[in-house]
Amino acid sequence: MSWIASLLNNLNYSTILFLMLLESTVIPVPSELVVAPAAYRAATGDLDVLLVILSATIGADIGASINYFVALYVGRPVIYKFANSKWGKMCLLNQKKVEKSESYFDNHGIIATLTGRLVPGIRHLISIPAGLARMNYWKFLLYTSIGAGAWHSILAAMGWYLHTVVGDVSDEELKGIIGQYNHYIVGFILGIVALTICYLLTKSYLKRKKKKSL
């Protein structure tokens, strides 16, 4: 999609918001190639890093809300039909990916809308099972904002850090460097998600145990 590439090469607060809106629906826009380069530019003084994170998070909230309400009103059969259509495949979507996001939501409950925002392959789809399950929208929006904000903060930190390490480089060189660091970011994020889930499960278990002892 050449128009997306054009937006990626002209990052400002509006394009960041719009691209993260797309990324949170079903359009394949890699957030690491939006937020990290934008934060890199913020380190040079062209942008404000806090506004980069805020713009990205607002965009993610809007995109996730679109998915939520579509799932809420059209239901699972239509979602699956779209995922299996040629349009779904153009968006790198299929029924298996939607089912994977549903399974994650079923296994982790409503907190999945927070932790799921940090999991590659699930991040942009976790709002679909939230809509299908008719989760309270304001709770959904709160968890989505926290999860998306955390993810974008980490990407922004990476972009800012890269500027201190590599200095001024071209956009193409920067994308290559971000790709090299990306697997470290994914591993770090998955570790955070695992620790968060363990904490929440332990907290829930202790709470139930305390109730039984009363």
Report domain extents, the chain.
2-213
In terms of pLDDT, which residue wins out, 1 or 159? 159
- With 0.85 as the threshold, say if the pTM is over it: no
Distance (Å) of CA 65 to CA 11, 47, 58, 127, 151: 23, 27, 11, 7, 17
Q: Positive or negative CA dihedral for 99, 111, 22, 172? A: negative
Task: Check whether 176 has a pLDDT greater than 90.
Answer: no
Query: pLDDT band at 196, cuts 50/70/90?
Result: low
Mean pLDDT of 122-129: 83
What is the pLDDT at residue 101?
A: 84
Task: Check whether 82 has a pLDDT greater than 70.
Answer: yes
